[in-house]
Structure 1
Amino acid sequence: MMEGEMAMTGSSALRVAVIGAGVSGLSAAQRLILNNQATKEVNIYEATDRIGGRIHTYKYGTGHVERGAAWIHGCSQENPLFSLALQHGLGPVDKEVPKFVMSELPQMTYRGDLVPLPLRSQLQEVFYYLLDGPDSVSTKSDEGSGTAPQNGFRRRDEQDGSVGSYVFSMLRGYLDNVGKQEGPEKRKLFLSILQQLVSEEFISNACSSLFDLDMDAFDSYKEFSGGDFALPTGYQAILDSILKDIPEDRLHLNQPVTKIAWMNNSDGDGQSSVKLHFQNGETKDVDVVLVTSSLGFLKHNFQSLFQPSLPDDKLRSMQKLGFGVVNKVQLQYNQPFWESDWKGIRLLWDCDSVDQLEGDWSIKDEWFKRIAFVRRVFFSEDVLETLIAGEEGEFIETLDPREIGKTITDLLRKFTSNPSIPEPDQIEVTKWASHPYIRGSYSYISTQATSQDVEKLADPVLVEDSRKRLWPRICFAGEATSKHYFSTVHGALLSGRREADRLITFNQSLKEQTTRD
């Protein structure tokens, strides 16, 4: 029997293995199991001891915190993730949702000076206009005065096509005018505000530089309306709601897959198959494998994981797409020092030129200058957190958490002019870059890639059988395979549903052909 051909005696339903128990893997398995005519067997194989992947809710302090994803981006019914939360009673049914707006946090200089609201609003308006267009101003910045640069809007820079080249070239002209009209000190303050906003963009995109981001692809990212929303019950509740439809014996934890042999295999029934090899030495024959591993894991392991190697065009796309790091530092205080209405602060460092907007410091000695803010955690009253992206975010994984906690304490004392702020009682630091089964945080489209590379990554590996039918032997899901919603949980959710629908449709075509034959 040739590769891809299935024994059609009895059921033509598929045997499917889902690699990874993150939200994309769970949502795909849920959809396949609920459509039980499409699958004979669905198993989820997770390398670690828990479900969730880059979603990790855990109890900390007086409540819970999120080690990974924390927000539903888009509090509207058009967002399937928000709809899922409401469907299962995980969020409020009215419009009073706990939202977070970064621009609400005051910006402070390291001298302890507060930047006036109209001034920071003006710079936010300029910055987000350049990044996202005029529609972004009302959603990302406070109301304020100031005119954003008009000429050349969304022009692809001819040098390298990066977001950085475009934005920084426009800012140079804008800041030159500020210097001429309002003096060098105002220009320097503007630069400090913009540098802090750049660090926030590093977090938004999991990048080390805006020069890593492709301008054209940057525009392909789509947002749902409604702002950012934090689940009162934690993100784990979303996973649990999906897990209710998955039988317990279909989920296999602590079961790393070390090799996917996808050509020229035959199982014990003489049926062509994909053979999975597990770390414990066991093997499993299936018809289709759905790989939901992170792009970071695939970049690190594609040579050993797939036998034979994946098609060259898929590997090129995999390598060209970006996958960066954002780590969290979470500080718990037995006796919180802040007032009940205090939400946090954003930190401004001195900056003298546009060339310094991405930082000109030593990562080893001044990694803390990448800290853009320190804020309260929504659902744990005694916890503060900060996020650190890029090379600095990866570097802190090598440091003692106590050193990180002491450094942040020193910063808080300096920026708030309050020397009595205590050191935290507990310190948690995530290590997403060194996590062996994740290798980072989320994806971005680099200047080496295009949106078509996202589509190529999402394409299944097809194998022709003796009847000239193309079988989707290996399918791919995960946020990095979502053309318009990469880097998000809703992108991962939708990608899992997309691949489940692909297999349901394929199985239906098999049944129809079997009936005709």
Structure 2
Amino acid sequence: MISQKRKVIIVGAGMAGISATRKIYGQDGFDVKVLEASSRAGGRTHTTTVDGVPIELGATYIHGTKKNVIFDLGKKFGLISGKGKREAEWEEYTLSALLTNGESVPSDIVLKCYDKFSDLLDDIEPDASARSWASQYEDTYTYLANEYPKSLEKEKTTRKVLKEPYCNSLFEVFLHLQSVVEGEEDCKGVSILCPYVDLGGDPDAKFDDGYSYGFLVNKLLEDLPKDMILYGREVVSINTESNPTMVKCKNGDQFEADHVIVTVSLGVLKRRCLDENLLPNESSMFVPPLPVEKLKAIHSLGFGNIAKIVFQFDQEFTSKCKFKPLMILWRPEDKDDPVIKKKFPWVTSLFTVERISNSNFYETWFHGCTVAQVESATKEEIVEGLCYILEKVLKHPIPKPIDVHMHNWSSDPLFGGCYMVDLTTANTQINMSALEEPLTNNRVLFAGEATNQAHFATVHGAYLSGIREADRLIKICTS
């Protein structure tokens, strides 16, 4: 049994920090404080409500509905009805696929081609049969670029697409969709076989209309004392040379701790632990510096760049809108449009625009190097770029969006990107194990999606990692 209460500091109130806090708070013998750098909980889940509509500026999907802790919590709290995507719903799925000169591409052809593309991804699930042949390809991009045309050849309907001028443009859209999933530009350098474990069920489930990750975060916090999470406390130093460990915040606050659970993003670790990323007025987050193996892991593991933009239109435009969603197929000559090249080059990476259910909001995604261009653009520039290309594609004027909603994840120093990416150069499993390894006789522990080998880059992966480290700590302290 624990003879006296152990002081536990949890760094970060994202999903990993919340789950660890909930687990430890339910145990006797612990005094828990959470230090959150921002003014809100949730981390890379970030919901804002506009005109009564919850808008996800961060994590949007629930990846898998079978034995998924996030899906189960959503059902428990009445935020998810429990109905996954049915095959019939997919068969009724419609979209508008338009070339950048306004010409239409039949949606049934697009969906058949996308099925071929998706089948290729299914074919490389990490098993022995996949490994026997997929290793001939350098990365996911080279695999898809080589196998996709071969896949189209196998069926008469899709074989015809190979002769169409939009064939490469269609592949470009599909590659964009997968690049957003992977978090890496064009899937280049992304490992073709990774340790991620698919939970099964609907891979892109969402909360029911009217609910969001923000509702789930609030529900998870209800059982915790209001003063347990201290906001505006960015941790700048975790010193294990002192005993107990001393945790120092940017605002000058200091806290003693017997144990610290660090749940910050891999992006923050890259910024605050690697010498080449430290600013002149910064020092390493850890005193003494992290062991070589952990620094190597932080350096080697990939961390992606994703930008999500939500456009708010007026209701009149929404009621007249003829697409849900719109898929934009870029002709090479339209990418050379002098207006686009001069004023908003990021627009050439605009491939999809989709309406958020039952609302006057539309969302789109960007990845890779384009993210920096988008995040540095003003709202006015983003609106102008969107209207310019949509009017070219739709062949009629559209009203300007009345607002633009986004969070600059990559340029936000509290995150530094979106989620971990399994790169071919990362030696991912070994380095993730090194990242997870506790320090100094379990005085400092590490959680977060980038420490979960089976479920990285997901909310449930982050949540489970927090429970894992809480269980580790409880076991240590009660044995």
Q: TM-score range by the shorter chain?
A: 0.7 to 0.9
SS where residue 505 of structure 1 aligns? helix
Cα distance in 2 between the residues matched to 1:182 and 1:175: 5
SS where residue 120 of structure 1 aligns? helix
Unaligned ranges ≥5, structure 1: 1-7, 137-150, 267-272, 464-470, 510-517
- Aligned mate of 1:319, from 287, 299, 315: 299
Cα distance in 2 between the residues matched to 1:312 and 1:364: 45
Match of 2:226 in 1: 248
Match of 1:74 in 2: 64
Give runs of aligned pairs for residues 2-81 of structure 1, distance below 5 A: 11-37=3-29, 39=30, 41-76=31-66, 78-81=67-70
Cα distance in 2 between the residues matched to 1:446 and 1:363: 33
- Aligned mate of 1:429, from 382, 406, 420: 406
Give runs of aligned pairs for residues 133-212 of structure 1, distance below 5 A: 133=123, 155-158=133-136, 161-171=138-148, 186-212=163-189
* C-alpha contact 1:258 1:279 (8 A) present in aligned 2: yes
Cα distance in 2 between the residues matched to 1:323 and 1:297: 10
Larger Rg over CA atoms: 1
* C-alpha contact 1:106 1:114 (8 A) present in aligned 2: yes
Q: CA deviation at 1:317?
A: 1.2
- Aligned mate of 2:76, from 78, 87, 95: 87
- Aligned mate of 2:192, from 215, 219, 227: 215
For residue 78 of structure 2, what is the amino acid of its counterpart?
A: G
SS where residue 276 of structure 1 aligns? strand
Is residue 447 of structure 2 the alignment partner of residue 477 of structure 1? yes
Identity %: 28
Q: CA deviation at 1:296?
A: 0.5
Task: Deviation per CA, 1:61-93: give whole Å up to 9, x if none.
Answer: 4512111112222234x1110111111122225
Q: CA deviation at 1:409?
A: 1.4
Cα distance in 1 between the residues matched to 2:386 and 2:421: 28
Unaligned ranges ≥5, structure 2: 275-283
Is residue 417 of structure 2 the alignment partner of residue 440 of structure 1? yes
Is residue 357 of structure 2 the alignment partner of residue 369 of structure 1? no
* C-alpha contact 1:276 1:285 (8 A) present in aligned 2: yes
**More displaced stretch, 116-125 vs 188-197:** 116-125
- Aligned mate of 1:403, from 381, 389, 402: 381
Match of 1:285 in 2: 256
Match of 1:117 in 2: 107
Task: Deviation per CA, 1:424-454: give whole Å up to 9, x if none.
Answer: 1112232111111111111111111122322
Task: Deviation per CA, 1:131-160: give whole Å up to 9, x if none.
Answer: 232889xxxxxxxxxxxxxx988734446x
* C-alpha contact 2:124 2:192 (8 A) present in aligned 1: no
Relative to the length of structure 1, the TM-score reads 0.81
For residue 92 of structure 1, what is the amino acid of its counterpart?
A: S
Cα distance in 2 between the residues matched to 1:234 and 1:474: 32
- Aligned mate of 1:378, from 347, 352, 357: 357
Relative to the length of structure 2, the TM-score reads 0.87
For residue 297 of structure 2, what is the amino acid of its counterpart?
A: S
Task: Deviation per CA, 1:461-483: give whole Å up to 9, x if none.
Answer: 2x3xxxxxxx2121111111111
Match of 2:279 in 1: none
